[in-house]
Structure 1
């Protein structure tokens, strides 16, 4: 551990995480989609919006909780992933039950969407552009965003696992910080 580093990392800024930025895009797209294309009174509206919200909020909460609990950070990051998979199924169900097309991975529309979504993390762009799109297109955009976010989240979970293995949790950090202080200050007691 770097002896100049505080034992509680304070550099957690979830807004800089690409996964968080993409999750925010997913939330905004889903909010518009559910309010525009689902019938008032349809329970799916709330379920989709809540799954998208959970996909975003759990990244933020896990990132901040990770300051003192690496276990909670990993759990909430995985809850994020699970919520987005629930949302993915809702979009796929929407397309299937309405006889709409889920774009094949190699479909030129899907390729173009993947390329766009890969480089655009500002939710304002999606909020503006989806107003001109059909429900089928928006659902496929959301599916693309969810798959891309899933890749980012899996990478984040792997990083969290490595960080825990290399640095331990709060108890190990506190112990190392205390020992460092004792060493610097010539303290030989308990």
Structure 2
């Protein structure tokens, strides 16, 4: 996977986390008691998924990039579990991963939660691919500090 010149905003999984964040804010207002802890937790998990991708992308260190992409992945998993809990606690059906019903997502709380579950699962797969690629790059090329140390040694050997 090659990092595009458009920055993190051009990454498909970042674009999806923007949608997830915006949708979750709307979903919470419509279907979750705003005074409940779940309301804040869902919004924060959605925000964290998005923000940690942007922060991770800007890191020079592959180690830090891997760490922040992992935090984003963890936040999305937390959010996914909140949507799954929402369906289970209300005895609503969980759709298959790519169910066509997701296209009519705002007509009911069941369809809204299922649409987000589909999108979060798809985004998590994209993030997993990027994480594997970044980890492989780290193994091949080393980390930021390791490469700086090599440059420092090369400089010292020249003088």
Correspondence for 2:76:
84
Asked which structure has the greater RCO (Cα within 8 Å, sep 6+), the reply is 1
For the 8 Å contact 1:113–1:144, the answer to whether it is kept is no
Query: Which blocks of at least 5 consecutive residues in structure 2 are unaligned?
Result: none
Which aligned segments of 4 or more residues in structure 1 are displaced greater than 6 angstroms? none
Based on CA coordinates, which of the two structures has the bigger radius of gyration? 1
Matched, 1:13 2:7: yes
Correspondence for 2:120:
146
Q: 2:18 aligns with which of 2, 18, 24?
A: 24
TM-score, normalisation: structure 1: 0.72
Q: Show CA shifts across 1:115-170 (max 9, x none).
A: x7xxxxxxxxxxxx75x421111100100011001100110111101111222112
Cα root mean square deviation, aligned: 2.5
- What pairs with 1:47-86 in structure 2 (closer than 5 Å)? 47-65=41-59, 67=60, 69-86=61-78
For the 8 Å contact 2:101–2:111, the answer to whether it is kept is no
Decide which structure has greater helix share. 2
TM-score, normalisation: structure 2: 0.85
What is the number of equivalent residue pairs in this alignment?
155
Correspondence for 1:136:
110
